[in-house]
A and B are shown apart, each in its own frame.
Chain A
Amino acid sequence: MLDADFFRRWMTAAAASVDREAERLTALDSPIGDADHGSNLQRGFRAVTDALAKEPPATPGAVLTQAGRLLISTVGGASGPLYGTLLRRTGKSLGDAAEVDAGQLAEALRAGVDAVRQLGGAAPGDKTMIDALVPAVEALGDSFAAARTAAEEGAVATTPLQARKGRASYLGERSIGHQDPGATSAALLIAALVDASAETEGDGE
């Protein structure tokens, strides 16, 4: 079972990955975006980890709801409301349970991804974070590791696509040949689930 502590570790692991990969995310965002994706997410996830360390919420749902709210208010770019909505809706779907199982997380994350699709209007193939998140949710029923692989493959598969959402879409065909920064950071978020669960091995995750 996954408790509030697991979800705090997930957010902490995501923040660490974003820190580690910030330069790469910003570099990916340079040719087709406005070169701020890494630094924007760094600011957001630092705010999340600071708040979670200061006053740890008691339930999985509350951890994600608070993290989402903070991302919306601190990121400053489109990824703030998108990731914020993803986590907040996932958190709301988990409700007040003190512990959830991996299947419940998969279902909640599916609701979160649906909310992101509704907010941004992106569909699979539009060269957005959706291209990493949708396959990740599909694979989450198997294992976190499978979800990570699916998300990473989904992110890599955005390279030949033409962007149809966001600033990159103004570039038309010139957006082809670049891996989408949002799909790349989404894969980091999913991969952080593996990091968070690695720390629980032995206590019956």
Chain B
Amino acid sequence: MSEAGLVGIVLVSHSAAVAASVAELAKGLAGAGTAVPVAPAGGTESGDFGTSAELIAAAAASVDRGAGVAVLTDLGSAVLTVKALLAEGDELPEGTRLVDAPFVEGAVAAVVTASTGADLAAVEAAAAEAYAYRKV
């Protein structure tokens, strides 16, 4: 199946392991054979905890299929770096959006929704809606 037209998902965490694991989890829960392009951007380029603008830009470019890219982040510098890159205007693919969502639950919702061929607004809404899921 072609990936053309699917929204791409980028997962930005201070930890490379967290970003990679959440990407794996979200793809796993979305079902076998899902073609959604998902890329983790975790930690710094030197492998430490932190945020790398370069890794984020590379991840976003790698999942861009022309339908937009939804970026989910954990906290602090991850959020600020994505916002600063978006303000820059030319470092992230056109149609890249920072999605306000809980990291794990939002990632699962985003990937599952994107796998249906939904557009960026629908993916964003699904991820944000994960905030409403109460556990107690």
Cβ–Cβ contact A120 & B80, under 8 A: yes
Cβ–Cβ contact A81 & B77, under 8 A: yes
Given the complex of chains A and B, what is the CA–CA distance between A40 and B53 in angstroms?
Answer: 14
**Per-residue interface assignment for chain B, residues 18 to 53, with 1 indicating a CB less than 8 Å from any chain A CB and 0 otherwise:** 000000000000000000000000001000111111
Cβ–Cβ contact B52 & A76, under 8 A: yes
**Per-residue interface assignment for chain B, residues 90 to 124, with 1 indicating a CB less than 8 Å from any chain A CB and 0 otherwise:** 00000000000000000000000000000000000
Interface residues of chain A: helix, strand, loop or mixed (majority): helix
Residue of B nearest to A40 (CB): B50
| Cβ 8 A contact of B76, one of A69, A88, A119, A167 | A167
Given the complex of chains A and B, what is the CA–CA distance between A84 and B91 in angstroms?
Answer: 14
Q: If the complex has contacts A82-B80, A120-B80, A166-B76, are A77 and B51 also in contact, measured as CB distance less than 8 A? A: yes
Chain B residues touching A, range = 10 to 19
Residue of B nearest to A165 (CB): B76
B4 at the interface (CB under 8 A from A): no
Given the complex of chains A and B, what is the CA–CA distance between A171 and B45 in angstroms?
Answer: 29
A78 at the interface (CB under 8 A from B): yes
B1 at the interface (CB under 8 A from A): no
Interface residues of B in 48-62 (CB under 8 A from A): 48-54
Interface residues of A in 12-53 (CB under 8 A from B): 34, 36, 40
Q: Total interface residues on A, using CB and 8 Å?
A: 21
Output the least CB separation between B83 and chain A (Å): 6
Given the complex of chains A and B, what is the CA–CA distance between A97 and B88 in angstroms?
Answer: 20
A-B contact count (CB 8 A): 50
Output the least CB separation between B64 and chain A (Å): 19
A85 at the interface (CB under 8 A from B): yes
List the A side residues contacting B52 at CB < 8 Å: 73, 76
Residue of A nearest to B87 (CB): A85
A80 at the interface (CB under 8 A from B): yes
Q: If the complex has contacts A81-B83, A81-B84, A85-B87, are A72 and B53 also in contact, measured as CB distance less than 8 A? A: yes
Cβ–Cβ contact B85 & A76, under 8 A: no
List the A side residues contacting B87 at CB < 8 Å: 85, 115, 119
Cβ–Cβ contact B76 & A84, under 8 A: no
Cβ–Cβ contact A81 & B80, under 8 A: yes
Which of A73, A88, A120 is the most central at the interface, judged by chain B CB atoms within 10 Å of its CB?
A73
| Cβ 8 A contact of B84, one of A34, A77, A84, A166 | A84
Cβ–Cβ contact B84 & A85, under 8 A: yes
List the A side residues contacting B54 at CB < 8 Å: 73
Cβ–Cβ contact B76 & A72, under 8 A: no
Q: If the complex has contacts A76-B50, A76-B52, are A119 and B77 also in contact, measured as CB distance less than 8 A? A: no
| Cβ 8 A contact of B77, one of A73, A76, A88 | A76
Cβ–Cβ contact A73 & B80, under 8 A: no
Given the complex of chains A and B, what is the CA–CA distance between A120 and B75 in angstroms?
Answer: 12
A residues neighboring B (CB under 8 Å) = 34, 36, 40, 69, 72-73, 76-82, 84-85, 88, 115, 119-120, 166-167
**A-B complex: 6 closest residue pairs judged by Cβ atoms:** A81-B84, A78-B77, A76-B50, A81-B80, A73-B53, A76-B44
5 A-B residue pairings within 8 Å (CB atoms): A69-B88, A77-B50, A81-B83, A119-B80, A119-B84
